[in-house]
Amino acid sequence: MQRSGSVNKKQYKYDQVSDYVMAMIENGTLKLGDRAPSLRKLSQILKVSISTINQAYVQLEDKGVLQARPQSGFYINADIQCTIDTPKPIISGSCQPRNVRFSKLFEDISKISNNTRIAPFAAAKAPLELMPVKALIRETRNMISRYPAASLDYCYPPGDEKLRHQIALRYSDMGVNVAADEIIITNGATEALSLSLQAVAKRGDIIVVESPTLFSVLRLIEKLGMLALEVDTDPATGINFDSLEYALDTMDVTAMLVVPNFNNPLGSLMPEANKKRLVQLLQERNIPLIEDDVYGDLYFGDERPGIAKCYDNDNRVLSCSSFSKTISPGFRMGWVAGGKHHAQIMEWKQASSTASPSLQQLVLAEFLRSGQYDRHLMHLRKALKFQVEKGRLMIARAFPQGTLISDPQGGCMLWIKLPDGVNCLDLYSLALEHNIGTMPGIIFSATRKFRNYIRLNCGSPWIEENEQAIQTLGELVHSLVN
């Protein structure tokens, strides 16, 4: 991996430190995203004072090579390719609950998502090529013929018993004791989140969310008249607890909504210890936790990550998820296990949509029961892992210096910081002219702070057109830098 000479060699002692660190990066000892040697350790090795090391590190930070993280030290964050990007905690700037307002941009973006002539980097899903299409066709044809009455008649909340049983078994596999009767089938995870928010909060209430967070969640909070309090979130480990505790100490927070596993757009994975700590923290303060796990089954590692619900002693976690990211978005099948808020959620479900479609519930119940879902997931995870890693490499090659790329451990999205000064909306418009979809970072926060970020979907296989589109996209970013 080559580095451009953005660090000048000078005679000062702190230059020695810079050179030493740069050499470690260039020879591969320090990888991008790694923690830099501690001040104390480097002071011993180089035999210079801690304050000199600190001076050098600050200089390297100014140049974009290192990045300081609160209570954690310095990390390699160079203006070269393929590093983990950590946004600064927004708590140090302003942490105000926001009345989220979004413009027509949403409408435009949702239109391009379904346009097949546009390179599919804007969506947040795997394409149908990776979905179990044949099996779903077969099971759908099968179920409606075998069970016409159940397929066509109302399936009142909480929904199909067999499907809820299968979902309960999956909770059990994660060590969580959720009975089928505690699960309510919803119109995708979006409805699960909507019902959950309405069950625990009302107009004007403050909801803590990660930052960046999915724009549709921000929009939902906006529509419900609630206020989104965006808390700094690390692309690797999820929500920052210093920022979170500060927010909880200083604001009257009503509820919290997080995506601990492969948060969209960051792809961050909250360590199990943090999930446990999060639940405890909210338990102490008697705040309900709405957890969205739609990407949880799409892990790249050896084991499925746990969920916050695993650490929930007093039923305060509202566990939401769906099959939209793993099987079929058009099925609109999600669920919520609402814990102590179950009855309230049932009331909201009955009042606002009466029931969920019946046929898809029957099909999914059978798809899970027969083991087809788990076999499909194995293939899907493998494909997505390969595609995301390949995407990172291609972007790293095509995009200019100053680009930072996230390193997700699951899901199918990359979160990319463009070089300073490149506006995501300029790139969005320019890319669209070339029939390339991108998701502008600006819509992932009500504060508009991710102006030079984009989210790219790597869910689609790297066919030649898409590889070419990444090349073109890189050239466009280059053109915006100059």
Residue 14 CA to residue 288 CA, distance in Å, equals 49
In the bound complex, what is the minimum distance in angstroms from residue 19's beta carbon to a second copy?
53
Phi-psi region of 33 (alpha: psi -120 to 50; beta: other; left: phi over 0): left
Q: How far is the CB of 358 from a second copy (least distance, A)?
A: 3
Q: How far is the CB of 433 from a second copy (least distance, A)?
A: 22
Judged by CB, which is closer to a second copy: 131, or 282? Answer: 131
Return the sign of the alpha-carbon dihedral for residues 244, 339, 378, 145: negative
Residues 6+ apart with CB under 8 A from 433: none
CB of 149 to a second copy, least distance (A): 5
Which chain residues interact with a second copy by CB under 8 A? 106-107, 110-111, 113-114, 125, 128, 131, 133, 136-137, 140-141, 144-145, 148-157, 187-188, 190-191, 194, 198, 202-203, 216, 219-220, 222-225, 328-332, 346-348, 350-360
Comparison of 67 and 356: residue with beta carbon closer to a second copy:
356
Residue 403 contacts residue 419 (beta carbons within 8 Å): yes
Closer residue to a second copy (CB): 153 or 374 = 153
Nearer to a second copy, 331 or 415 (CB): 331
* Distance (Å, whole) CA 127 – CA 185: 24
CB of 119 to a second copy, least distance (A): 16
* Measured distance CA(280)–CA(311) in Å, rounded: 8
**Dihedrals phi, psi of 69, to nearest 5 degrees:** -120, 135
Supply the DSSP symbol for 434: T
Cis peptide before 212 (omega within 30 of 0): yes
Minimum Å gap between C-beta 192 and a second copy is 10
Task: Rank residues 218 and 469 by Cβ distance to a second copy and give the closer one.
Answer: 218
**The two structure tokens encoding residue 371:** 């083991």
Reading the block at residue 139, the tokens are: 């099971």
Tell the smallest beta-carbon distance from residue 380 to a second copy (Å).
14
Q: Report the nearest approach of a second copy to the CB of residue 354 (Å).
A: 4
What is the SS3 assignment for 57? helix
Nearer to a second copy, 233 or 328 (CB): 328
Strand partners, 258: 291
CB of 359 or CB of 481, closer to a second copy: 359
Residue 33 phi/psi, 5° resolution? 100, -15
Those residues whose C-beta lies under 8 Å from the C-beta of residue 141, and which sit 6 or more positions away, are none
Q: Which of 65, 31, 344, 371 is nearest to 194 (CA)?
A: 344
Nearer to a second copy, 72 or 110 (CB): 110
CA distance 251 to 97: 8
